[in-house]
Amino acid sequence: MVSVVDLSAIGFRIETGNHIELGSKVYLAIPGLNSLPAVIIWSRNPFYGCAFLHPLYPAVFEHIAGKYSVIAL
């Protein structure tokens, strides 16, 4: 299981008990949107930093933030 902890237009942080290799490609699935590809760029167990392959357009980020009460950090 993976929990999204933080989200910004350039990436997100997840928390998981699973090990994920640095450089692994992952996808953020958000209902109503195509899966968003990202890559693991750092890890500090149990957290992993993920960078989107293509930053989110401001309107897309605002849609996600409004729908899921996300605060950009």
Whether this model's pTM surpasses 0.85: yes
pLDDT(13) > 70: yes
Q: Taking the CA atoms of 22, 34, 13 and 55 in sequence, report the sign of the dihedral they define.
A: positive
Distance in angstroms (rounded) separating the CA atoms of residues 11 and 53? 9
**Does the domain spanning 2-68 belong to CATH 2.40.10.220?**
yes
pLDDT(51) > 80: yes
pLDDT band at 1 (very low <50, low <70, confident <90, very high): confident
Confidence at residue 71, expressed as pLDDT on a 0 to 100 scale: 53
- Parse the chain into domains and list their residue ranges: 2-68
Tell me which residue of 67, 53, 48 sits closest to 9, measured CA to CA. Answer: 53
Distance in angstroms (rounded) separating the CA atoms of residues 39 and 69? 24
